[in-house]
Amino acid sequence: MIVIVVKWPIKDEYAEQWPELVREFTEATRAEEGNLWFEWSRSLEEPNTYVLVEAFADGAAEAHVTAPHFDKAMDELGQYVTSRPKIVSVEAPGDDWSELGELRNL
């Protein structure tokens, strides 16, 4: 699978609205064949930063970045950020989350 993590630095005036601003993009991506997950979180240390964690079955990420809703989002979302988002993209074995084996007393 391909796992992607993106840090989105949102302008102050849009930080509270961000989940709604990306709703259409989020729903369309989650409906894509090969999408394993597409989840937003908000940073505790930097409240104007949202972190997107997404995963795709092998080969499905290319279809994602060529989809019309992806192009639309990339054209529109730049107006809401303070700088270009930072990304980590890696290939990982498996097709789902693994359990955290180090957690004790469970």
Give residue-wise pLDDT tens across range 25-72: 999 999 999 999 999 999 999 999 999 999 999 888 888 999 999 999
Q: Indicate whether 98 belongs to any domain.
A: no
What total number of domains does the chain contain?
Answer: 1
Cross-strand bridge partners of residue 88 = 5
Q: Which residue has the tokens 């180090």?
A: 102
Euclidean distance between CA atoms 42 and 46, whole angstroms: 8
Q: Please, are residues 35 and 56 in contact by the beta-carbon 8 Å criterion?
A: yes
Euclidean distance between CA atoms 28 and 88, whole angstroms: 22
Q: Indicate whether 103 belongs to any domain.
A: no
Q: Indicate whether 40 belongs to any domain.
A: yes
pLDDT at residue number 19: 98
pLDDT at residue number 11: 98
Q: Indicate whether 102 belongs to any domain.
A: no
pLDDT at residue number 62: 84
Domain range for 32 is 2-91
pLDDT range class, residue 96, cuts 50, 70, 90: very high
Q: Indicate whether 96 belongs to any domain.
A: no
Q: Indicate whether 101 belongs to any domain.
A: no
pLDDT at residue number 103: 92
Q: Indicate whether 44 belongs to any domain.
A: yes
Q: Indicate whether 11 belongs to any domain.
A: yes
Q: What is the CATH number of the domain that holds 26?
A: 3.30.70.100
pLDDT at residue number 106: 80
pLDDT at residue number 61: 81
In order, the DSSP letters of 8-67 are EEB-GGGTTTHHHHTHHHHHHHHTSTTEEEEEEEE-SS-TTEEEEEEEE-TTHHHHHHTS
Q: Which of 58, 56, 52 is closest to 31 using CA atoms?
A: 56
